[in-house]
Structure 1
Amino acid sequence: MSGDSDRAVDAALAHHRAGRLVEAESIYLEILAAAPRQVSALHGLALVLADAGLLAEGRQLLDRAATLAPEDAGLANSLGLLAMRGGDSLAALAAFDRVLALDTGFDEARVNRGLALLAAGRRAEARGALEAALERDPRHVMALAALG
């Protein structure tokens, strides 16, 4: 990724974090017009679309990005999060398992995996996963909240 592209992705991300979805989308689309296979822009645009309520479109873009960068644990984690938002806990679980296969130190995915297990009704497994996540980070708010 070129320096200009890096700066553009950073600008789009700043807009997204500030809730300026239209501005973020516009920048991501500009990047992708010049470089359709730019994974960071695909990833960012996917999340913007999901936040705008276009979950299916966001998942499609993430799938495309994951095809281009199959070893990117962050993309796999985002796929899992969007699957959870869409109510597909089994797809989310598969995605979080993929994240942990790619990066055993991706602690957020451990918690996400526990939440996916909980959503799938697999409470005992969820408890074990969340407790394991807390062993690595005893103050993880989401894990603590999920365990009650």
Structure 2
Amino acid sequence: MRAGTLLTFALLILVAGVAGCSRGADVVEGPDGTRLLVASGEAPRMEALGTGRLTRGEDGCLYLAGDGYQDLLVWPAGTRLADDEAAVHVPGAEPVVIGSDVELVGGGVAADERTLPELPGECMADTVFLVSSVDAG
């Protein structure tokens, strides 16, 4: 099997697995309007490293932003905002401060109805990064 065919096959399996799971996101909204999207249900564990700055958009949603990209973040179940809303607490990891450079483990998927049918309309992006964990560095 050629490498290109094998890669295409692997991507189709990944997309089918993502589409086949319950892929909604619960919205946790803080008093200042920060919106934290938390996976509702079990998500497939992806292992890509996403690096950039954890930012809060004008819509209140959290994004991973870098040079030429801004991916909407969906955090793993159990994630919560800090009481002062300055950080995100991911189970089993140190708090991730909003506005800081971060390394997140997970994977990017297209933000469309086939892969993530229940994203809230107020949080918009072409790509969603499904966070599996925070890289301790």
Q: Into which bin does the TM-score normalised by the smaller protein fall?
A: under 0.3
Structure with higher RCO (Cα < 8 A, 6+ apart): 2
Q: Structure 1-normalised TM-score?
A: 0.26
Task: Give the alignment's TM-score, normalised by structure 2.
Answer: 0.28
Higher-helix-fraction structure: 1
- Which entry has the higher C-alpha Rg, 1 or 2? 1
